[in-house]
Structure formats: structure tokens, C-alpha cells
Amino acid sequence: MKPLNNIVSHFKESIFSTMTKLAVENQAINLSQGFPDFDGPSWVIDLATKALQDGKNQYAPSFGILPLREAISANYKRYYQLDYNPHDEIVVTNGATEALYCAITALVNPGDEVVVFEPFYDSYYACLLLAQAKVVPVTLKIPHFKFDLEELKKSISSKTKLLIINNPHNPTGKIFSNHEIEEIAKLANEFDFYILSDEVYEFLTFEKNHTPTASFHSLKDRTITISSTGKTFGLTGWKIGWAAGNPQLIKAIHNVHQFSTFCVAHPLQVAMAQALANMDQYLLEFKRDYLNKRDLLVSGLRKAGFNVQNPEGTYFALAFLPDGESDIEFCQKLIKDKKVAAIPTSAFYLKSNEGSSMIRFCFAKKNETLQSALNNLGL
């Protein structure tokens, strides 16, 4: 038979699937893959049940139902003083991952250069390969995960079409400083490239608050802001995401979306429209609970002998390995010997070998799960 697509044929299994499979095989506690082991808020699930019973079970509009787009727009205005017209500046997608795929497909031509900060979520690279982009990695240097401005400048040229930023950042837990975004803004305006800003952890912040990339001077029109409800409400299986940007960009993204998934689950959109409009009290509890989980895991790992970075955001914590240890081998031993699964971060790098010195733990778990994992690690 004739060969498959050359690019897809070389894709490997996601590191998340690999480590979860190993965890299941060894009956290990899974702190690798980034999803909760508990359900989202019952009141949000009740809203979805009602929508199902009310007959919201046929195709939704391809752009997303208007009440959801209005709720997203209202929250950008309310929390960040950002104005997005719900009619033509927001499109609802099948999670943030589809928004990323559609945005990259809509913007990038074969040979266009795209700058990514490593370590990065592996989906970025897969989407860029499918678009036949030239991927240009810029390393966030350990231990504080700041980029070197001279390295960034050397990575940008007249061929740069797009820069991808993830803020708050997975897997490091970093929140980019205002100064860092301002430096990126100067380069974006000088070299006229777009910014794809993945902000799915926008409400999962601790000592600092999140500031959207698009809110910085001169960046709104050239930034595509991507977010979702999965991380904020602990309902990752619902896959309710979106892209926000100027009408020309959103029209192009929708052109891809309408011929891939077309629309997103109608009753879940109805539920999430109401949830987003009534989330103030929930966010207070959400942040408090995750701060407790972060502190439980980080302090416990430190007591167990790990050198752990305290994340500013996300629900991930990085541990630096002793000299001479390899992240992949260390994670394999951790699963087999300690019955705890983590993610080797070398999977998130293209250029630097710094990833081999770290592993990532997820604390989006019940406190009992986290404590059991710490007990297994010798606490």
C-alpha cells in the first residue's frame, strides 16, 4: 500500500500517554498527566444536565453559541479590561488544543519561521510540523526560566511569522514578567510577527496575578489569545476552549475550525456560558484549594529530599535531579520502585539538554492522592 503522510508517520506516542501507561502497568500513583483525579463543581455539572434535558442536543453554531461568546467577552472586560466583540472576535473550539491547531494552520505557510520558548507543550511542535513551519526554539534558562534577550533577538528575522508564548507556563510554573512581555512586544512591532498566547492557566496563579499578552501596548491586534475552561473548572473532558483576536485573525481560525470539528458540544457550551458568568466566589475557593495542594506537594517533596521549584502558576511543580541522573531513567525508576509517576521534561525541549535534569509533578489531585504519593517517596 502507498505510504502515509510523511510528517504524521514520524510522530511518536505522547510522553503523557507513555508515562500514564507505565503508571497503570505498575499500579503507580499518577502525578504525570495534567488532569484532576476529582470531579469539577457539581453546580456546573448540574447546568449541563439541565441543558441536556432542555433539548440542547443538536449542532451548535460553528462560532460557538452567542451566550458563551458573550460570557467570555464579559470576563475579558471584567478581569483584564480587554475588549473583544463576541460576534466576530471570539471563536469557540474543541479545547485549547484545537484552537492552537486552527490558529497555526490559519497563519503559517510552509517555510515560515515560528519562535517557541522551550520547554514547551508538545502539541505546539506537532502542529508546527504539520504546517511545515521552521521551528526556532529559544530556551528559558534554569533555574529561573528567563529567556536571554540576545538569544531571542538572534532567533527573529524578517521570516518570523509567529511567536508562541505559554503564560502561565507549563511545565515550569513561570509567569512571564511585564518586562519580558514588553521586550517581546518591541520585537513583534519591529519585525511584524504575530503572537499566539496560550493562557489556559490564567486563573491558576498564586502570589502573582495573570496579565494577558494582548493587554500590553500595541499587542492586541497582533495577538491571538487562547484559553479554555478545562483547567479553571477541573472539567478537562468537556473540551471547551476558544481563540480571541481581531476579526481578520478569528475569521481565518474559524475557516479551519469549521472544516475540522465544525462545532463544540452544545449542552456543555450552554452550561459553561452560565458558569463563566457566575465564577467570582468559585475562583476564591479554587485558588485557595490549589494553593494548599501546591504547598502540600512542594513541602512534601522537599522533605523527601527533592530540590523543587515553587511554581508561580499552573498545577505543576518541577524537581531538579541530582548530577548524573537522567530524567527518563529517573521517572522509570520512580514508577517501578516508588510507585509514583512524573513526567521527564526532556520531551519538551528541541535544542537544550537542560530538560534531562528535571521532572514534572502534577498537583491537580486529591490531597489524599498527593499524601499517598509522598508516603511512597519516603516522607
pLDDT score of 379: 62
How large a percentage of the chain has pLDDT more than 70? Answer: 100
Nearest to 199 by CA among 150, 159, 166: 166
Contacts of 79 (CB under 8 A, 6+ apart): none
Distance (Å, rounded) from C-alpha 224 to C-alpha 210?
16
CB–CB of 99/157 below 8 Å? no
pLDDT score of 312: 97
Distance (Å, rounded) from C-alpha 253 to C-alpha 248?
9
Distance (Å, rounded) from C-alpha 207 to C-alpha 184?
23
Distance (Å, rounded) from C-alpha 129 to C-alpha 5?
12
What structural domains and CATH numbers belong to the chain? 6-39+281-376 (3.90.1150.10), 42-279 (3.40.640.10)
pLDDT score of 155: 98
Pairing of strands 307-308, 316-320: antiparallel
pLDDT score of 199: 98
pLDDT 10s digits, 179-204: 999 999 999 999 999 999 999 999 99
pLDDT score of 269: 98
pLDDT score of 207: 92
pLDDT score of 10: 85
Task: State if pTM tops 0.85.
Answer: yes
CA count, 13 A, side-chain hemisphere, 99: 31
In the predicted model, is pLDDT for residue 378 greater than 90?
no
* Average pLDDT of span 253-261: 97
In the predicted model, is pLDDT for residue 366 greater than 90?
yes
Distance (Å, rounded) from C-alpha 271 to C-alpha 68?
9
* Average pLDDT of span 260-265: 97
Distance (Å, rounded) from C-alpha 25 to C-alpha 138?
36
* Average pLDDT of span 308-320: 97
pLDDT 10s digits, 34-47: 889 999 999 999 99
In the predicted model, is pLDDT for residue 106 greater than 70?
yes
In the predicted model, is pLDDT for residue 278 greater than 90?
yes
Contacts of 170 (CB under 8 A, 6+ apart): 34, 121, 201, 314, 316
CA 203, 281, 268, 87 torsion-angle sign? negative
Q: Which three cell numbers stand for residue 22?
A: 507505565
Q: Which three cell numbers stand for residue 91?
A: 471563536
CB–CB of 66/202 below 8 Å? no
CB–CB of 47/270 below 8 Å? yes
- DSSP per position, 283-325: HHHHHHHHHHHHHHHHHHHHHTT-EE---SBSSEEEEEPPTT-
Question: Mean pLDDT across the chain, nearest whole number?
Answer: 96
Nearest to 287 by CA among 212, 206, 175: 206
pLDDT score of 263: 98
pLDDT 10s digits, 324-349: 999 999 999 999 999 999 999 999 99
Torsion of CA 83, 176, 353, 132, to 10 degrees: 20
> How does residue 217 score in pLDDT terms, banded at 50, 70 and 90?
confident
> How does residue 350 score in pLDDT terms, banded at 50, 70 and 90?
very high
CB–CB of 269/60 below 8 Å? yes
Distance (Å, rounded) from C-alpha 14 to C-alpha 108?
23
